Amino acid sequence: MSTQRKSMLTSGMVRSAIKDSFVKLNPLTMMKNPVMFVVEAGTFVVLLMTVFPGYFDTTDDIGFNVTVFLILLFTVLFANFAEALAEGRGKAQANTLKKTKKEVTANKVVAGGVKSVPSAELRKGDIVIVSQGEMIPGDGEVIEGIASVDESAITGESAPVIKEAGGDFSSVTGGTRVVSDTIRVRITTDPGESFIDRMIALVEGAKRQKTPNELALNTLLSSLTLIFLIVVVTLAPIAKYVNIELQVPVLIALLVCLIPTTIGGLLSAIGIAGMDRVTQFNVLAMSGKAVEAAGDINTMILDKTGTITFGNRMASEFIPVGGESEERVAEWAAVSSLKDDTPEGRSVLELMKTNSLRYDEKVAVGGEFIEFKAETRMSGMDLKDGRKVRKGAVDSVKKWVAAQGGSIPSDLDARTDGIAREGGTPLAVAIDNRILGLIYLKDTVKPGMRDRFDQLRRMGIKTIMCTGDNPLTAATIALEAGVDDFIAESKPEDKIAVIRREQAEGKLVAMTGDGTNDAPALAQADVGLAMNSGTTAAKEAANMVDLDSDPSKIIEVVAIGKQLLMTRGALTTFSIANDIAKYFAIIPAMFTLAIPEMHVLNIMGLGSPMSAILSALIFNAIIIPLLIPLAMRGVAYKPMSASRLLGRNIVVYGIGGVIVPFIGIKLIDLIVHLWV
C-alpha cells in the first residue's frame, strides 16, 4: 500500500484523463463550472469568426484568430484534464476494490440443513456458515462463534483480526477471508448495498457533494466572472465612442485573462483530490464536506472501549499473595491459560512474553483442560500428575480452595479490593489447595495513544474521553492515555449532550467510536469517524470509516482537511495575484493597437501588442497543468496559527503569484515575438 501511496499518477490514468478532457467539453458539463464555461463560450466565438469571417464585419487577422482559438481551447482542455485526472485516481482505486467483489459460494442455513448458493442470492437476514479458508459472502454480524479474519483485501493490513459474537467486534465485511475456526453470520445488506459497493461508489466520486466553503468560493468566482464579463462587453462601445476599435478576439483574450481561470480550472480537482488523499490513508469519507470540516476541528470526543483501549480485559500484572513470588504466580497462570482461547487467556501468555517470564509447557502435556463455565466461573488444567490448576473469579477460587482443605492468604482480600478500586478485574490463581496470587486484568490503552493525543493537542484540538466506567477507572485510563478531559458513567445521550454543548459554543466536533451505542453521537458530530471493526450501526451513522480501526487516525484526517483548505486558499491567492501581471501585459497592448502613444505603459517591455496578448494567453493556459501536481498533492501542512498561515500564503502565493507571471509572460514573449 505504501507503494501505491507514493505513486500519484500512472500512464493509464493520464491517457484516460486526456480522453475525458474532450468528453467534458460538452456545454451541459461545462456549465457546472461558470468560469470555464465562459472561456469555452469565448473559444466558440473566436472559432466562428475564424471559420466564417465573411459573416462578421471585421478586419481581424485570421492567423491571430486561429492562434487565440487554439490557446483558449487548450486552456479549457487543461482545466478539464485537471478534474479528470483527480477523478481518475478515484476510479483506479474503485477498480482495485471491484477485484475484491468476486462471486463466492455461500453456505446458507435453510430448513433441514445447509445449502450452497451464490452470494448474489443472499438477502438481509439470511444466516450463513463460514469456515476456515472461506470468503465471507456479504456484510453481516457474527451471531455465533469466534474466528480470525483476514481483512487485508479491504484495509490493506496483513494482520488478521478477531471477530466474535456479541459486543463491538462482531461486524464482518464481504470479501474478507476467515483464517481460522468457524462462525455463523447474519447478513445485514442486500446485493448492491454492501460496504464494498458503497466504497466503490464513493471513491469514484459519484456522491461527492460540494462543501459550504467550496460553494462560497464558486459563488465568488461566478460573481467575478459576471462582473468582468459586463466590463468587457461595455468596453467595446465605450472605446468605439472615442474612435478606438477593439477587435473581438482581443476583448475575449482580455476577458479570459481578467477572470480567475486558474483557480476556476483547478477547484474541482482540489476537492476531489482531498477526498482521494483521505482514502489513501485507508479512511473512507462519505463526502467532501466531512474532509473539509476535519480541517477546522476544535474538539474530539472519543469512546473509550475499543477506541482508546482494546475493548477486552487484558492481563497487565501478576500480583503474588501469601508470600509467593511473582514468577511462581506467572508460571501457573500461564499453565492454566495454555488452552484458554479467550482474550483474557491469550493476554496472560502475551504478558509472560512481555515480562520475559518463563514457564514449562511440558507440565501440561497429557493434562485435561477445564473450560470456563458460568456456574463455576473458573477455568484451568487437571495435570497428568494429579495436580489441579485453576484461575477465575476470586470468590469462586476461594470456595474451590476451601473445598480442597486449603486456607486463604491473609492479604488476598486487600489485594483484590485494591485492583477493584482502580477499575480492574482480579482473577485468582490457585494450584490444588493454595492460592498463589492474582492476575490484574484491565482494559489496556492501545500503544502510542499518548503520543497521538499530544499531537492533537499541538494542533489545538481538545480531546474528551467518554466511558461507562466509574469515575476512578475513567480517571486512571484518561491519565494513562493522555486525554484532556473525560466523562465517566456516560450514556449515549451524554455523548450527544457534550457534542451539542461544544457546537453551541461555535466549535466543530469530531467523534470516534465503534459501538452501536456510539451511533447517535457519530451522527450528531460534524465529523463522525467509525472504526471498521465496529458495528454496522456505527459505520452507517458516521460520515467517515477508518478501515484500519485506529482512532488516532483522526490526526491524518485533520491534517488532510487542513491541507485541503490551505491548498484551496493558496491557489486562490495565486490565481488572483497572477491576474495583476496579466493586466499589465494585455491592457497596454490592447490600447496600443489603437493609440501607439500608450506604449509607455508597456512596463514589461513586451515585443509588440500582438505578442503581448498571445503571451498572456499562453501563460494563462499553461499555468493550469503546471499547478495540477500541487492541486492533487496539496500544500504541505505545517501546524501554525491562522494569522501565520495567512501571512505565509500572502508572501509565498500572493507575492509569488505576481512575480511568476511577470517572468513567465516575458520569457514566452521573447519566443512569440520572433514569429508574430
Q: Are residues 341 and 482 in the same domain?
A: no
| Cβ count near 204 (within 10 Å) | 17
- End-to-end, the C-alpha distance of the chain in Å comes to 51
Percent of the chain residues past pLDDT 90, beyond the cut: 14
81 CB-near residues (< 8 Å, 6+ apart): 17, 18, 20, 21, 625, 628
List, as residue ranges, the binding site. Answer: 340, 344, 372-379, 391, 514, 518
Q: Given this model, what pLDDT does residue 594 score?
A: 67
| 435 pLDDT more than 90 | yes
In a domain, 153, yes or no: yes
Which of 523, 547, 571 is the endpoint of a domain?
A: 547
Predicted local distance difference test score (pLDDT) of residue 3: 36
Would the pLDDT of 12 be above 60?
yes
Question: pLDDT digits over 504-516, tens only?
Answer: 888 889 888 877 6
Q: Do 357 and 299 fall into the same domain?
A: no
- DSSP per-residue string spanning 222-255: HHHHHHHHHHHHHHHHHHHHTT----HHHHHHHH
Question: Exposed, middle or buried: residue 208 (CB in 10 Å: 0-12, 13-18, 19+)?
Answer: buried
- DSSP state letters, 525-565: SSEEEEETTS-HHHHHH-SEEETT--GGGHHHHHHHHHHHH
Is the pLDDT at 465 greater than 50? The verdict is yes
The pLDDT, as a whole number, for residue 59 is 53
Are 493 and 354 within one domain? Answer: no
Residue 198 lies in a domain: no
In a domain, 57, yes or no: yes
CB atoms within 10 A of CB 447: 9
> What whole-number distance in Å separates Cα of residue 31 and Cα of residue 27?
6
Q: What pLDDT is stored for residue 228 in this prediction?
A: 85
Residue 100 domain flag: no
Instruction: Match 466520486 to its residue by C-alpha cell.
Output: 205
Length of the chain: 676
**pLDDT for the residue numbered 7:** 44
Catalytic residues: 303
The whole model's pTM is what?
Answer: 0.62
Please report how many Cα atoms fall inside a 13 Å half-sphere around the Cα of residue 310, on the Cβ side: 17
In the structure, how many helices (H) and strands (E) does the chain have? 24, 22
User: With 60 as the cut, is the pLDDT of residue 150 above it?
Assistant: yes
- The residue out of 389, 421, 440 marking a domain boundary is 440
**Which residues are documented as binding site for Mg(2+)?**
514, 518
Which of 167-171, 428-432, 672-676 reaches the highest mean pLDDT?
428-432
Same domain, 408 and 482: no
Query: Which segment of 246-250, 523-527, 670-674 scores lowest on mean pLDDT?
Result: 246-250
Task: Characterize 389-406 residue by residue with b for buried, 16 or more Cβ atoms within 10 angstroms of its Cβ, and e for exposed.
Answer: bbbbbbebbbebbeeeeb
Query: Domain of 521?
Result: 286-308+446-547
Q: Are residues 639 and 578 in the same domain?
A: yes
CB 302 within 8 A of CB 614: no
* pLDDT tens sequence across 490-506: 777 888 888 889 888 88
Average pLDDT of every residue of the chain: 81
More confident residue, 431 or 470: 431
d(CA 583, CA 652): 20
Question: Is residue 101 pLDDT above 60, yes or no?
Answer: no
Domain end residue (candidates: 389, 419, 440)? 440
438 band by pLDDT with thresholds 50, 70 and 90: very high
Same structural domain for residues 81 and 38? Answer: yes
Residues 298, 380, single domain; the answer is no
Residue 201 is predicted with a pLDDT of 59
DSSP summary character for residue 407: B
Pair 351, 417 in one domain: yes
Tell me the CA distances in angstroms from 212 to 73, 283, 557, 673, one per residue in order: 31, 22, 18, 45
pLDDT for the residue 334: 92
Asked if the model's pLDDT at residue 436 lies above 90, the reply is yes
Domain count, the chain: 4
**Residue carrying C-alpha cell 490551505:** 566
**The predicted structure's pLDDT at residue 11:** 74
Q: Is the pLDDT of residue 646 over 90?
A: no
Closest by CA to 97, choosing from 160, 156, 148, 141, is 156
Helix (H, G, I), strand (E, B) or coil at 428: strand
pLDDT tens-digit map of 557-578? 888 888 888 888 888 888 888 8
Main-chain phi, psi angles of 135, to 5 degrees:
-85, 140
Please indicate, yes or no, whether residues 167 and 238 belong to a single structural domain of this protein: no
Residue 523 and residue 491 share a domain:
yes
Q: Which three cell numbers mark 67?
A: 492562434
Confidence of residue 593 (pLDDT cuts 50, 70, 90): low
The confidence band for 96, taking pLDDT boundaries of 50, 70 and 90, is: low
Please give the average per-residue pLDDT across 423-435, as a whole number: 88
pLDDT at 467 over 50: yes
The verdict on 536 and 584 lying in the same domain is no
**pLDDT on residue 85:** 77
